[in-house]
Chain A
Amino acid sequence: MSREKLITLNKGVKKSTWVEDAKFRLANRKWLNYSHEIAKRILTEIKEKNLNQNKLAMAMGISAQHISQIVKGRENLTLESIAKLSTILEVELISFPRYKYSSVALIANLNNNTVFNSAVTSSAIPDGDNSLQYTLVIKADATRVSIINKAA
């Protein structure tokens, strides 16, 4: 009875808009989380450097509304914008953990006629040896490719 009364009052016209917003948030959660993290740092720096959002907007050359969206954690910032904000606020807004490249053991059983001419290979093969025919076992890691077995 109560619900029927509500339906009558609403005339079935209006409905909540939360679903569309929620679907957007759920679909974009990953970058929105990045945006929240950046927003927290910007807000803290604004306070610590005695700035305000208007001053930051002016320095960035964007509108106050745009800055407002950024500090709410809703803006899909470009790397260029992050760099600019970072320079103005004199703080790194994102950082990159040391990347651990997976150690890949590459076994290259090269045929006699194989031309081994990639940039990596040319640095891996000792100067002057390029004309030799090798079966090479090479190991690649983050910084180097080394010959660990060489058989003519």
Chain B
Amino acid sequence: MEIIPTFDGAVDLWCVVYPEDKVDILTVLFEKWTDTEYLLEFFVKNINDLNGTSWQGISIDEAIKLVIDEVYYLQEKLICINNKLPECWNLTVRDIFTTLNKQEFMLRKHEERFRKGKIDSLPQMLRLYAIELEDNTIILTGGTIKLTDKMDRPHFDIEFTRLVRVNDYLKSELIYSKEGLL
């Protein structure tokens, strides 16, 4: 396992490279969340969750669009912050996310200018999982599409396992997280 910076230079956001992956987790997630085959399969498998109150019975097409729009927005924001563009000059990575609990992050609601029409009121679908270190460095361990309030779907098991793996690795290197794990 390796932990590498997300941008050039030593900035707030770092990400894990798992031995089973050729590239870092942020690259893996962006690839996956823009993969039509993966998204279609995911939403067909979890179609009942789209019929819940949170998602107001949106179609698979709309759900796929939501994910892809969110990914593009996230990419734009990260690049904007990295390049210190005028509209992001005072922003850090932390500013574009809301912390849901110690390890779960999502894009800030008020940042959602990319949403239009009837799906305006829907919550964000993407979740990023990370461990925060004592000096506020964030280490991205994974991410998933979250359709339910609870972490009670099989794809969350993978995220939990990753958090534990990375935490164990950090401990072995005498690097400590801010608030402990979960």
Contacts and interface: CB of A to CB of B under 8 A. Distances in A.
A6 B3 contact: yes
A2 B133 contact: yes
Nearest to A20: B27
A22 interface: yes
A152 interface: no
A1 interface: yes
B14 interface: yes
A10 B76 CA distance: 26
Contacts of A35: 36
Nearest to A5: B175
A61 B83 CA distance: 44
Given A9-B173, A10-B3, A36 B64 contact: yes
A38 to B, nearest CB: 9
B83 to A, nearest CB: 9
Nearest to A7: B10
Given A1-B135, A16-B15, A21 B31 contact: yes
Interface string B1-25: 0111111101000110100000110
B73 to A, nearest CB: 10
A26 B27 contact: no
A122 to B, nearest CB: 48
A63 B27 CA distance: 25
B66 interface: no
Contacts of B75: 18, 22, 25-26
B27 A18 contact: yes
Contacts of B179: none
A84 B37 CA distance: 20
Interface string A42-86: 011000000000000000000000001001111000000000000
A116 B3 CA distance: 74
Interface string B53-79: 000000001001000100010011011
B167 to A, nearest CB: 13
A147 to B, nearest CB: 45
Contacts of B64: 36, 40
A47 to B, nearest CB: 9
Contact of A9 (B3, B27, B37, B135): B3
A74 to B, nearest CB: 8
Interface core residue of A17, A18, A32, A68 (most chain B CB under 10 Å): A18
10 smallest CB-CB distances across A and B, nearest first, come from A73-B36, A39-B36, A2-B133, A22-B75, A18-B27, A14-B4, A18-B26, A3-B137, A16-B24, A72-B35
Given A9-B2, A9-B3, 4 more contacts: A3-B14, A6-B139, A18-B24, A39-B37
